[in-house]
Amino acid sequence: MKKISKFLLLFVLTITLCTTLNVKAATSKTVNNQAELKDALNDSNISTIILGSDIETTEKINILRDVTIDGNNKTIKYVGTFGSSNSSDNTVWGGIYVLQVYKSNVTLKNIKLTGGNAGLLINGGHATFVGKIDVSGNGFGGIELGKGSGVTEAPKLTLTDDAEIINTTESTDKPTLWVPDDTTGAIIEIGHTEFELNPGVELSLDEINELEESLENPETSDSLLLNIFFLSIFVILSSYAFNKILNKE
């Protein structure tokens, strides 16, 4: 009887261990092409998707759930067409974002998003950047923080301490980050400090880096605050003096 009990206990422990291992194994998935990436995004048991190789996609990839995408220093490149003319030119607007974070919490790590009208759309969702995020090579710029049709949630981008945004094709008409004119409440979080971005704002890579540096360097941050303070005092005194002159006249 004792032998049977020991056997049953061993059997139960073995089944439990195997089940646990299967659950752990299912939480991450390595993908190597468009179909595997889409399948992994549709599988809610997978919490981390790892790129095993560069991926070319003929359609924009929509992320509709909470997930981490570890780019593993690989690239997702859009190679489809744009607009009603089916143009191959990514400066022809077709609303093609290589990735769209739609009303979900997504972490992106060490990845390049290229070939689209834009690299990333944060559509009422929250994206967190870890490591190097490259948005070079897109027709209209890098990252849009927006609200699409029927979306009420404010978009948010968080830059972790080791996050680095790369955009080697930035220009005045291809900003690294922007907020559409009709989007309110967009937030960028740097170093646990949140900044609300005005509708229509565009940020260059240098401006994002300067913002990060001002938070990392207390002296720079204090200097900025002092400059703002003294400028405010100057404006008040100038206004007072101007009113005095008008009253005398």
Question: What does the pLDDT look like over 63-118, one tens digit per residue?
Answer: 999 999 999 999 999 999 999 999 999 999 999 999 999 999 999 999 999 999 99
Where are the extended beta strands (E) located within the chain? 28-31, 48-51, 55-57, 61-63, 67-78, 97-102, 105-114, 118-123, 126-134, 141-146, 156-159, 164-166, 177-178, 186-190, 193-197, 202-203
Question: Which residues does residue 132 pair with via DSSP β-bridges, in sequence order?
Answer: 164
**pLDDT grade, residue 236 (50/70/90)?**
low
Region of 83 on the Ramachandran plot (φ > 0 left; ψ -120 to 50 alpha; else beta) = left
Provide the whole-model pTM: 0.78
Tokens of 67: 């997930």
**pLDDT grade, residue 211 (50/70/90)?**
confident
Domain residue limits, the chain: 31-207, 217-249
Distance CA 146, CA 154 (A): 8
What is the DSSP-derived secondary structure letter of residue 86?
Answer: T
**pLDDT grade, residue 152 (50/70/90)?**
very high
Can you give the pLDDT at residue 93? 97
